Structures are given as structure tokens and as C-alpha cells.
Structure 1
Amino acid sequence: MTESILLIAGGLVLLAIGGELLVRGAVGMAARLGISPLLAGLTIVGFGTSTPELATSVQAALEGSPGIAIGNVVGSNIANILFILGLSAVILPLNVNPASFTRDSIALGGSALLCVGAVLLGVLGLATGVVLLACLVGYVWWAYKSESAAPCPEAARHEAEAADRPVPPGTGPAVLAGMIVAGLVAAIFGAGWLVDGAVVLASAAGVSESVIGLTVVAVGTSLPELIACIVAVLRKHEDVALGNIVGSNIYNILGILGITSIIKPIEVPAEIAGFDIWVMLGVTALLIVQLRSGWRLSRLEGALLVALYVGYTVLLAMR
């Protein structure tokens, strides 16, 4: 048990360090190559901050642990909405920009429905992965075209996401490339430790790998989003907090699940298909309804989300 906890803790630390190195190196390289901050924020930062989930799900799939691979994505999306966004709203009520959220609510709801459809197939394979990844490319293109056509709050937010991860001005391409490589290596090793520790912990605790994937692994790989959202609301940047969660959930399904399915087909555990995927769809729908009714997430609504997450984890513990 102690060994598994140390592996999980060490894996999470390496994933966090690796993800940050990768994002900073890639953003710095993009600036040197003349890539716009808007495009960098939409793509590099979006993918980079999802590195922990991606590395973990791919590693779990390759090691034959589908409960962790899929549970990581489904559990992360549930935790992002109920726990992280709920806690953020308790700290500071979140106001929503109707113009920007209209597009992202369609992408968020659509990706959740796609995920349900993919899970109900029973096996996520190459064709499913290609469809999911193609939808992500389409979303990024749609967002980039709409935000670059005219000044808008979402464009400013994506540019700020890239600007929030600066590197010293004199950093050369060789150092930036080294940061990218080091970040990838740290993420790969960290994912390996996390998955190995999660498998051992599931066996020692007498629970399924799916439960560990939906809880310990999912929350652990979502720690960067938790920190980013808390910092954002403390700075009274509620649009950044909301954008982090919505963007992360879209990337988790279309990008992480898509890439993982292309690399290695995943057999969906029956317990996730029968219950947890519907919880994810339900909380996604709840969030969209909450935000579109008054364009605000109040402290009371945030507390309700956190309470629902506590109830969900209790149900998982009772399996």
C-alpha cells in the first residue's frame, strides 16, 4: 500500500513538472516561429495542460488497464465540473459571457454526447479515435476563425493563457526544444508510475481499477486545472476559471480519448458504460443549464455542485 501511494505521488509530481515544461517550451518555440498568441493559446496551451491526462490514459491503455484509461477521462470531466468549478464558484460567483459560451456550450454538450456514443460501442478503436480527433480539429478551427475575425473576450482569454507561461526573452531554440523533450520524458515516466501505483492500490484496497481511475487518478491529473482555477478566481478572473474547465473537458474527450483510441483500442468496462458515463453526461447538461439560466454560477449553485461530487464519490466507494 505504501509503495503504491509513493508511486502515485511521484507520478503526479512528474506529470505536473512535465506538463509545465512542455507548455512553456512549446509556447516559447511558437513565439520564436511567429505563431500568434491566439493560436498558441487554443492549441499548445490546450493540449499541453492536458498532458497529464493524455500520458496517463495512453500508458494505462498500453498496460491493459482500460478502467484507468477511460475512467481517467470520464472521472476528470466529472471532477472538473462538480468539484473544481463548484469550488471556484463558492469562492467567487462566476459570470458568463453569453457570446462566447454559446459556441463553447455547443462544443461541450456535443463532445459529451459523442463520448456517450463511443462508450456504448463497447470498444473504442481506430475509427472512433479518428472521429473524435477530427471533431477536435474542427472545434479548434471554428474557435480560431470566429475569435480572429473580430476582437472578443474569448480571444483575449486564449492570448492571456499563452502569455501566462512566459520564458526568458533570450531563451534560444535549443533550450526550448530541450524543455519540450524533458517535459515529454517526465510526463511519460510520471504516467507510468501513476498507472503502476493505481493498479497496485486498486488490488490492495479491494476495488476495481475503474473506481481508482474515476477517483484517485482523475482528481490527480486534474490538479493543474484546480490550481489554475483557484488562482484565477482569487485574481477575480472568473472567465479564465470557466474557460479552463470547459476547454479541458472538450480536450479530454475529443483529444485524449481520441488519441488513446488510435494508439490502442480500449474495451469499455461495463460499470463505466452502465453508470459513470451517464453521470458525466448529466453533470455536463446541468452545468450548461445552470450557466445559460441567468449567465451566472452563484455560490449556492457552486455548493450544490460540490455536494453532488461528494455524493458521487461516496457511491463509488460503496461499489
Structure 2
Amino acid sequence: MDYALAIGGFVLLFLGGESLVRGAVGLAQRLDTSPLFTGLVVVGFGTSAPEFVVCLEAALRGQYDITVGNIVGSNIANIMLILGLAALVQPVISRPSILRRDGFAMLAASVLLVGLAFAGGISRWMAVAMLAVLIGFIAYCFRGERNNGGVKGYEHEIEDLGRLPHRLPLALLASAIGIAALVFGSRMLVGGATGIARDAGVSEAVIGVTLVAVGTSLPELAAALVAALRRHADVALGNVLGSNVFNVFGMLALTALIEPVAISRGFLTLDLWVMLGVSCLLLVFMKTGDRVNRMESGVLLAGYAVYVALLLGPYGTAAAMHL
């Protein structure tokens, strides 16, 4: 049964990623914006849905370490694991405008979360302010994309993807189906893989740090890999940048609006600094050569392996509490 769940999860993740990428690029055509923008907003927001579910459930139970740890762990995995794998498949091209707007928005989200950890938590009025900033950022991005020519310059990439949903309702439906398949597929895969790991004698701590921590990032991973395979690395980049912004300003803020979230200073031991550090490193990679190349993807993947090793080593107990 566990093997069937895992295999079914993989299939749903692939099909969901395919549907979401096609729907997102179709939306870019209909709304006359770039695929990067739909990757930033539609894909980034949609693939962050699992984080919101986990965060809210944990916060309502008073398990704030799980709420915050899920966001921090997901943001780290998004950059080091997901973008690292996507760039390994297809170098991820960046542009100075992406760096100035979306890259620094991601960095601002990381800096804010560190500041909130020093403050001790997120109150409801803070959550309202964060959501207002997010809405303003989306409006600013949309206006900027339309003023900069929208979909112009991406025609060749769109043609390479093949048949797309040309009507707005169909593009929205394809995106929604893709998001749903990614969410359910990730749950099936994590459930099956966890059962297999337990049967093999793997400890709960290791399962928590690896399978559960990465589990909520599987939709981003599937969407990014499919986007890279389809030569839409801009969607993959927008997905990662958007997801990290939405995780903090959207998912964590929505959770705190419903249930104020306390942030343990234990996260300032390792996790938050790793998140902030890799955010800065990604901006450097985006600046040098205007792309994240395969060599840089190797640095990200190796760094993630070191981070997981640290969690399982001297920081293992804290990591298990966080995740």
C-alpha cells in the first residue's frame, strides 16, 4: 500500500506540474504579462497552499515551532534544493529587473522573518500590515509587467511549450487542477515514503527532518522541474521567489491573523541565518552572469546536503522540534 501511495504521488506530482505550468503560461498570454509574473503570483501562491495548511493546523494547536519551522525550512529548500535541481536541468536565466524587484522582495521577506524572531512573534496588527504589503507588491508587479510589454519577448518560449489553454477560464482551470494535483500528490508521496521508511527502521527524527520537512515543498519542486524541462526556467525562478515571498507575507501572515504566532529564539541558532544567507547567495548568483548556472546549482545542492547533515548532527534535537 505504501509503495502504491508513493508511486501514485509521483504520478500526480508530474501531471499536476505539467497542468500548472501550461495553465500559468496560458494565463500569461491572456493577461498579457510575462511567464515570470504568473510563476511569481499564480504558481508561487498556489504551491504555497500546503505550507498554509500545515502552519494553521500547528498554530491552532499551539505548536508554533512547527508553524515557523515549516516556513523557514520550506524557504531554505526552495532556494537550495528546488532551484538547485531546476538549474541543474536547465540554467535559470535572470534579468536585472527581476533581481531589483523580485529578488529583493525575497530578501526583504527573509530579513523581516529574522526581525520578527528577535521581536518574539507576529501579532494580528503585524499580520494585517504584512498582508497589505503583499497586496501592494502584487499590484506593483502587475502594473510593471503590463508597462514593460507584457508577454512580448517570450513568444518563442511559449511556442516551444506547445498547445496551451487559450481562454482565460480554461487557463484558470488548468492552473487550479495542477495545484490540487500537486497538493494531493505531495501528501500521497510523503505518506507512502514515510510508511516505507518506518518499515525499514528509519527513526522518526530522520523522517521529520527529511521527508516531512521537504514534503510541503514538493509542489514547488514538481512545478519547478517541469518548468525547467519545458524550457520555462523563468516560471521556475518566479515560483521559488514568489513562494518565499508568499510564505512569509502571505501564509505566515494569514496564520497569525487567525492565531498570533510566537517565534522561538532557537531559530536564531541556525535556521534563520541559513535562510538569510542563501537568500543573499541567490541574489549574487542572479547578478553574476544574469543566471543560475549548473555549477552554482551544484553549490546550492551541496549546501543543502550540509544543512541537513547539521540538522541530523549537533543541531538534531532543535531541528526535530522545529520541524
Match of 2:67 among 66, 69, 89: 69
Mark the CA change 1:312 to 1:45 in structure 2 (over 3 Å): closer, same or farther: closer
Q: TM-score, normalised on structure 1?
A: 0.72
Aligned pairs for 1:207-246 within 5 A: 207=205, 212=208, 215-246=210-241
Q: Which residue does the alignment assign to 1:265?
A: 260
For 2:272 and 2:141, the matched residues in 1 are separated by: 26
In structure 2, which of residues 50, 53, 70 is the aligned counterpart of residue 52 of structure 1? Answer: 50
1:276 is aligned, of 271, 279, 285, to 271
Q: 1-side partners of 2:141 and 2:218: how far apart?
A: 26
2-structure distance, mates of 1:64, 1:298:
42
Q: Structure 2 vs 1, CA of residues 90 and 142 (structure 1 numbering), >3 Å: closer, same or farther? A: same
For 2:110 and 2:77, how far apart are their aligned partners in 1? 14
Q: What SS is found at the alignment partner of 2:309?
A: helix
**Aligned partners of 1:274, 1:287: CA distance in 2, in Å?**
21
- Identity rate of aligned residues, in percent? 37
Mapped partners of 1:164, 1:121: distance in 2: 49
Amino acid at match of 2:271: D
Is this contact kept in 2: 1:100–1:153, CA < 8 A?
no
1:313 is aligned to 308
**Aligned match of 1:255:** 250
Q: 1:57 to 1:37 in 2, by over 3 A?
A: farther
Q: Which residue is equivalent to 1:78?
A: 76
List aligned pairs for 1:155-194, cutoff 5 A: none
Task: Give me the CA root mean square deviation.
Answer: 4.4
The residue aligned with 2:95 is 97
CA distance in 1, matches of 2:92, 2:53: 31
Shift of the 168–99 alpha-carbon distance from structure 1 to 2, 3 Å rule, reads closer
On the 8 A contact 1:75/1:215 being kept in 2, the answer is no
TM-score, normalising length: structure 2: 0.72
- Give the letter aligned to residue 238 of structure 1: A
Q: Secondary structure at the match of 1:294?
A: helix
Contact persistence 1:123–1:268 (CA under 8 A) = yes
Whether contact under 8 Å (2:111, 2:276) holds in the other structure is yes
Query: Are 1:85 and 1:241, in contact at CA under 8 Å, matched by a contact in 2?
Result: yes
| Contact 1:147/1:155 (8 A) holds in 2 | no
Q: How far off its partner does 1:223 sit?
A: 0.8
Decide which of 129, 137, 140 is 2:135's aligned counterpart. 137
SS class of match (1:151) = coil
Partner of 1:117: 115
In structure 1, distance between residues paired with 2:309 and 2:47: 28
Q: Answer whether contact 2:44 2:240 (CA < 8 A) is retained.
A: no
Q: 1:281-292 residue pairs with structure 2 within 5 A?
A: 281-292=276-287
Q: Hey, what's the Cα distance between the residues in 2 that align with 1:170 and 1:226?
A: 25
Q: Helix, strand or coil: the match of 1:82?
A: helix
Give the Å deviation of 1:222.
1.0
Amino acid at match of 2:257: I
Match of 1:127 in 2: 125
Give structure 2 stretches of 5+ with no counterpart: 317-323
- Quick one: distance in 2 between partners of 1:315 and 1:165? 45
Distance apart, 1:278 and its partner CA: 0.9
Post-superposition shift, 1:43? 4.7
Q: Say which is worse superposed, 280-289 or 85-94, in terms of deviation.
A: 85-94
The residue type paired with residue 293 of structure 1 is T
CA positional deviation for 1:98 = 2.0
Count of residue correspondences: 289
Tell me which amino acid in the other structure corresponds to 2:63: S
5 Å matches for 1:143-154?
143-152=141-150
